[in-house]
């Protein structure tokens, strides 16, 4: 067989250019359809997207409540019931016929005692309160980091929430749609439709350590709204947390401080890294929830840049003292007390929160950083 004629230099350049064009187009298509949520994490212009689920709240006795108990004197159900009662009752937030989504942290393939996910009894108790307030539909969901089926089952949340009457929804590709958030670094990203299309949303995180953010609870819990490659947001984690808290304005925030993760978060795994605190925080302000809640693990608000960013954006306040705070305390001798918290104006809010949070805990105590 005769040898094929060698292509000329011009033909080689033409073929190479065509091949590069095909490769470039393929890369753009792959980036568009495979890596959604990774390639559009950049600065955006225009007004930021907001999903505000707060509505017109009826007046109540307080906008910030901490309910806590001495060891072995309470259950998670009792604590959240007392916290909501002191806040004005769940009917202050949920109207008859509302479609409500409850967003716990169900991110990890861990059991309840490892404190990486929200306490399952607490989730079930909130479901029951929402149903009693007249909600027509109650959904419990999260976009897990580990395998969702294992996370929902092993955490105990699937079973307890279902028994309490909730629809437990696992994340799936068809439940996400791309949205323009117009955040400082979050622009176009896949968003969990189940969460953003409700009438009311209750944020129900667990208070724990995070190796990058230092502390995670209310604001960081909104990572579960996103699909895509969320780990890429860790390069600017504080800004991404502020962007998400700008986007999601919940009806109510309830922080699980029943058992907190002090070290090696967010996944944990070692029970020795946890501590029983028997605390529930209920508030209308997610920034205040984190400013107080971080002291449960010995952290200070000024060490969390995303709190400052959130205040600057007008999302909420780190000074929980301005929210007419109340405390409900449960004691070993059976006494219970609900009262206003009068904190001197000159006192550091973090020090006050730490003293309140630690007041029911047996030694050894967490040290405020």
CATH of the domain at 148: 3.40.50.11440
pLDDT of residue 16: 52
Extract the residue ranges of the chain whose pLDDT is less than 70. 1-46, 363-365
Distance CA 294, CA 114 (A): 18
361's tokens: 């805990």
The CA dihedral of 332, 69, 80, 311, to the nearest 10 degrees, is 160
Tens digit of pLDDT for each residue in 280-314? 999 999 999 999 999 999 999 999 999 999 999 99
pLDDT of residue 225: 97
In a domain, 32, yes or no: no
pLDDT of residue 365: 67
- Sign for the CA dihedral angle at 202, 74, 83, 304 comes to negative
**Number of compact structural domains in the chain:** 1
Q: Is 207 helix (H, G, I), strand (E, B) or coil?
A: strand
- Sign for the CA dihedral angle at 271, 275, 278, 284 comes to negative
pLDDT of residue 17: 53
Closest CA to 300 of 278, 325, 318: 318
In a domain, 21, yes or no: no
Distance CA 247, CA 51 (A): 6
In a domain, 129, yes or no: yes
* Residue-number span of the structural domain to which 261 is assigned: 41-358
183: left (phi over 0), alpha (psi -120 to 50) or beta: beta
Q: Are 98 and 70 in contact (CB under 8 A)?
A: no
In a domain, 25, yes or no: no
Those residues with Cβ within 8 angstroms of residue 262's Cβ, 6 or more apart along the chain or in another chain: 208, 209, 273, 274, 275, 297, 298, 366
pLDDT of residue 369: 77
Q: Are 200 and 53 in contact (CB under 8 A)?
A: yes
**In the beta sheet, which residues pair with residue 141?**
169
Tens digit of pLDDT for each residue in 17-60? 554 454 444 444 444 444 444 434 444 456 788 999 998 888 99
Strand 274-283 and strand 64-69: pairing? antiparallel
pLDDT of residue 367: 83
């Amino acid at each position: 067989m005769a040898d094929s004629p060698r292509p000329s230099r011009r033909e080689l350049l033409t073929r190479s250019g065509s091949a590069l064009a095909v490769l470039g187009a393929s890369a753009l298509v792959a980036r568009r359809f495979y890596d959604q949520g990774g390639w559009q994490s950049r600065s955006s212009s225009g007004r930021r997207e907001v999903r505000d689920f707060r509505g017109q709240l009826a007046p109540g006795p307080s906008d910030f409540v901490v309910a806590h108990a001495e060891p072995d004197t309470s259950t998670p159900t009792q604590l959240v019931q007392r916290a909501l009662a002191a806040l004005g009752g769940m009917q202050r937030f949920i109207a008859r016929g509302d479609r409500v989504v409850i967003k716990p942290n169900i991110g990890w393939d861990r059991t309840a005692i490892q404190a990486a996910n929200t306490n399952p009894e607490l989730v079930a108790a909130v479901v029951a309160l929402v149903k009693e307030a007249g909600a027509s539909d109650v959904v419990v969901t999260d976009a897990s980091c580990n395998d969702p089926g294992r996370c929902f089952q092993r955490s105990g949340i699937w079973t307890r929430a279902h028994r309490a009457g909730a629809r437990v929804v696992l994340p799936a590709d068809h439940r996400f749609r791309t949205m323009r958030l117009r955040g400082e670094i979050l622009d176009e990203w896949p968003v969990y439709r189940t969460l953003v299309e409700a009438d009311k949303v209750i944020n129900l995180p667990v208070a724990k350590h995070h190796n990058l953010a230092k502390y995670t609870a209310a604001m960081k819990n909104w990572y579960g709204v996103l699909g895509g490659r969320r780990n890429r947001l860790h390069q600017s984690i504080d800004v991404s947390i502020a962007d998400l808290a700008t986007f999601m304005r919940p009806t109510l925030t309830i922080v699980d401080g029943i058992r907190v993760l002090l070290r090696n978060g967010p996944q944990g795994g070692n029970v020795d890294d946890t501590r029983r605190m028997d605390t529930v925080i209920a508030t209308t302000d997610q920034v205040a929830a984190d400013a107080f809640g971080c002291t449960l693990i010995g952290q200070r608000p000024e060490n969390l840049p995303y709190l400052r960013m959130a205040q600057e954006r007008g999302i909420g306040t780190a000074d929980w003292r301005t929210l007419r705070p109340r405390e409900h305390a449960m004691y070993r001798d059976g006494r219970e007390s609900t009262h206003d918290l009068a904190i001197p104006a000159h006192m550091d809010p973090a020090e006050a929160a730490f003293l309140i949070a630690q007041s029911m805990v047996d030694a050894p105590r967490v040290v405020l950083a």
